[in-house]
Amino acid sequence: MPSPSPSPTRRTFVSSLAGIGAASLVSDWALVRSALAHASSAVSQQPPPPFTNLTADEASVISAAAERIIPSDGTPGAREAGVIYFIDRAFGTFMKDQLADARKDIKDLNRRATKRNRAVQSFAQLSEADQDAVLREIQQTPLFNGLRYLTIVGTFANASWGGNRDNTGWKLIGFEPHGIHKPPFGYYDAQVAKGGR
């Protein structure tokens, strides 16, 4: 049976995320970098600072979803990268006009969670297996695409900008950061260019 089409609020949510990926992220890159820097700072503080745009309950739902998208199962994941703080800051800056729709989507996740297990009232309270099952239900929807997009940006962005704390995301995929090579090059580069060894 085909999955139901997404609600208008979800469609709005993902279309805005698609725009961020293609254009808004470029035009608002300073705000993205600021959100990443905030995430890096927040995740290293003990106790962690309060959220500035999401409520604690909303953050717990988004964090739980992000942690299932990039889990900490033997390797660092979205939690260690501070993704929830990046998303919280995003909803106060370059995605602030999407916060109301995101709140509706969080309520939908909680509704699905309760439908799956009557003993819980929040997606964050589900077992990991049930969280995965709920996310599979919505994996073709704008809601999931938006969560996945923000999780990936918060986990794999350049660590020098503040996200991807301690190169968490890069370590996860085995990426070794290298400096940018630019002229003037050294003696050995000149020898290679001439065919020397």
Of 7-11, 164-168, 184-188, the one with minimum mean pLDDT is 7-11
Residue 2 lies in a domain: no
Q: Give residue 142's pLDDT.
A: 86
Residue 188 lies in a domain: yes
Residue 105 lies in a domain: yes
Q: Which domain holds residue 89?
A: 8-193
User: Over 60: is that where the pLDDT of 10 sits?
Assistant: no
Q: How many domains does the chain have?
A: 1
User: Over 50: is that where the pLDDT of 12 sits?
Assistant: no
DSSP structure string for the chain: -PPPPPPHHHHHHHHHHHHIIIIIHHHTHHHHHHHHHHHHHHHTSSSPPPPSSS-HHHHHHHHHHHHHHS--SSS--HHHHTHHHHHHHHTTTTTGGGHHHHHHHHHHHHHHHHHH-TT-SSGGGS-HHHHHHHHHHTTTSHHHHHHHHHHHHHHHS-GGGT-SGGGHHHHHHT----PPP-SSP-HHHHHHHTT--
Residue 114 lies in a domain: yes
Residue 95 lies in a domain: yes
The whole-number average pLDDT for the span 166-189 is 59
pLDDT digits (tens, 9 = 90+) for 65-121: 999 999 988 777 888 888 898 889 889 888 889 999 999 999 999 999 999 999 999
Residue 83 lies in a domain: yes
